[in-house]
Copies of this chain bind each other. A is one copy, B any other.
Amino acid sequence: MTERMVIVGGDAAGMSAASQARRIRNPDELEIVAFERGHFTSYSACGIPYWVGGRVEGPDGLIARSPEEHRRRGIDLRMRTEVTELDPGRQRVRIVEREHGEQARWVDYDHLVLATGARPVRPRLPGIDAEGVYGVQTLDDGQALIDALESGEHGRDGTRRAVVVGAGYIGVEMAEALVERGYRVTVVDRGPQPMSTLDPDMGALVYEAMCGMGIETVRGAAVTGILTDEAGRARGVSTGDAEYPADVVVLGLGVRPETELARRAGLPLGPSGGLLTDLAMRVRGQENIWAGGDCVEVLNLVSGRTQHVALGTHANKHGQVIGTNVAGDPEGAATFPGVVGTAVSKVCDLEIARTGLLERQARAVGLQFETVLIESTTRAGYYPGTRPMHVKMLAERRSGRLLGAQIVGRENAGKRVDIAAVALHAGMTVEQMTALDLGYAPPFSPVWDPILVAARKAAAAVREARGG
């Protein structure tokens, strides 16, 4: 008997699940239907800043696979079709075909995959819906912003100005994009430092570097409203204390899980509002409902808590796991054990990376730890193109176990975070890390890789703390 797999959301997690299930089961065994309410499928939202900045051709360049390609692989992908209700009791979902008369109907499923993604944070501020205020979550968002940037409207002095609200990953990436478009950019953030995904001392390094790039960064300033002109068009932002004029205002405040459907269906949500699943990516307490991608919370293997991490790389892994498990791979169930909290980003030539826990996150779960902060270089000191990099490391006081690492540096600094990420997966102590056999040659690293330098200092700090 043919079973039916219904997928809600046609982006990374959903379509990876579809593709993987199709690799294992043919259409006679498993019918695969995917509903996507938007105009695009399988696109790289994380590529939007680079499209806006003019480095990447878009929107087509950001689309990994077209609807037609999915259909050719035996996946019945329905675009512009919104799922408006889940009915787990009767194993069906209600759909509305937006381009076919808005008619609603129910579709039965044997296996349901929720891959509804995330929605951008959009604070309820006066003027937030004014023309000239742009999000950067969807390809439609990106196109609207690019159209505005290319419309050639200038400020009174001929300078084009942009305000970015939020100095997290998306905020700093958008700051870079707007600098590349020739805008004078002000980033407004309510935190004490940009990049609240870093500890404040590391965020301060980002702040200094952004100042050096000519990006004005306003810290500790919550936006209280969008300034508009007589035509109702955004002309800047206000923080109560000050006003920052702008020709465009970009919202870069991050995203939240899009789980309204799941909530209404009574499915379990975590503290961040993301769906809770087991390690096989099955929604907790459900036999045949699966969830993955930006709409779920995942286990942080270092903190032992679930958290929301919106990253395409996780979404693709979730999709693989779900597809394998829905298809019932005879090799056994696949699992997604969790994350260690790795992220990497850049603003101009500054690279910013982290993995594991920040100080406040470690404290919040009851860990006692030592921290060290070192400065080193990306290559041998004498090799041309060597650039500075800072590494911060957290290690548990009692066990010496690595708890986290943060990197702020220039070219070739960021991806070194992977060394610490693998060490976190493996539960290594910083003392063990001092013996890691990492690739060394002068064009690639100093004779002591910066990660080794940090690990040595962290190991010494742990020994000293225990001895004292």
A residues in contact (CB < 8 Å) with B:
12, 44, 46-47, 50, 55-57, 61-62, 169, 173, 311-314, 316-317, 320, 331, 335-337, 339-346, 351, 353, 355, 380, 382-384, 412, 414-419, 421-426, 428, 432, 434-445, 447-449, 456, 463, 467
Contact = CB atoms under 8 A, between A and B. Distances in A.
Given A44-B442, A50-B442, A346-B441, 17 more contacts: A44-B447, A46-B442, A47-B383, A50-B443, A62-B382, A313-B445, A331-B463, A335-B435, A342-B438, A344-B440, A351-B444, A414-B439, A415-B416, A419-B422, A421-B436, A423-B426, A425-B435
25 contacts: A44-B442, A47-B380, A50-B382, A50-B443, A55-B383, A56-B382, A56-B383, A311-B440, A313-B440, A313-B448, A314-B437, A317-B434, A342-B437, A343-B441, A345-B441, A351-B444, A353-B439, A412-B415, A415-B444, A419-B422, A422-B422, A422-B438, A424-B437, A425-B437, A426-B426
A300 to B, nearest CB: 9
Contacts of A438: 313, 342, 418, 421-422
Contacts of A416: 415, 418
Contacts of A441: 46, 169, 173, 343-346
Contacts of A320: 456
A50 B339 CA distance: 40
A467 B434 CA distance: 39
A85 to B, nearest CB: 31
Contacts of A426: 422-423, 425-426, 428
Contacts of A442: 44, 46-47, 50, 56
Nearest to A428: B426
Contacts of A336: 435
A12 to B, nearest CB: 7
A326 to B, nearest CB: 18
Residue in A12, A336, A444 whose Cβ sees the most chain B Cβ within 10 Å:
A444
Contacts of A47: 380, 382-383, 442
Q: Which 10 A-B pairs have the closest CB atoms?
A: A426-B426, A344-B439, A313-B440, A422-B422, A61-B382, A342-B437, A339-B437, A340-B437, A312-B447, A418-B438
A9 B285 CA distance: 67
B447 A313 contact: yes
A437 B421 contact: yes
B384 A55 contact: yes
A4 to B, nearest CB: 26
B444 A316 contact: no
A443 to B, nearest CB: 6
Contacts of A55: 383-384
Contacts of A414: 439, 444
Nearest to A311: B440
A460 to B, nearest CB: 9
A316 B383 contact: no
A374 to B, nearest CB: 16
Contact of A435 (B169, B317, B351): B317
B44 A344 contact: no
A22 to B, nearest CB: 16
A439 B343 contact: yes
A143 to B, nearest CB: 16
Contacts of A422: 419, 422-423, 426, 428, 436, 438
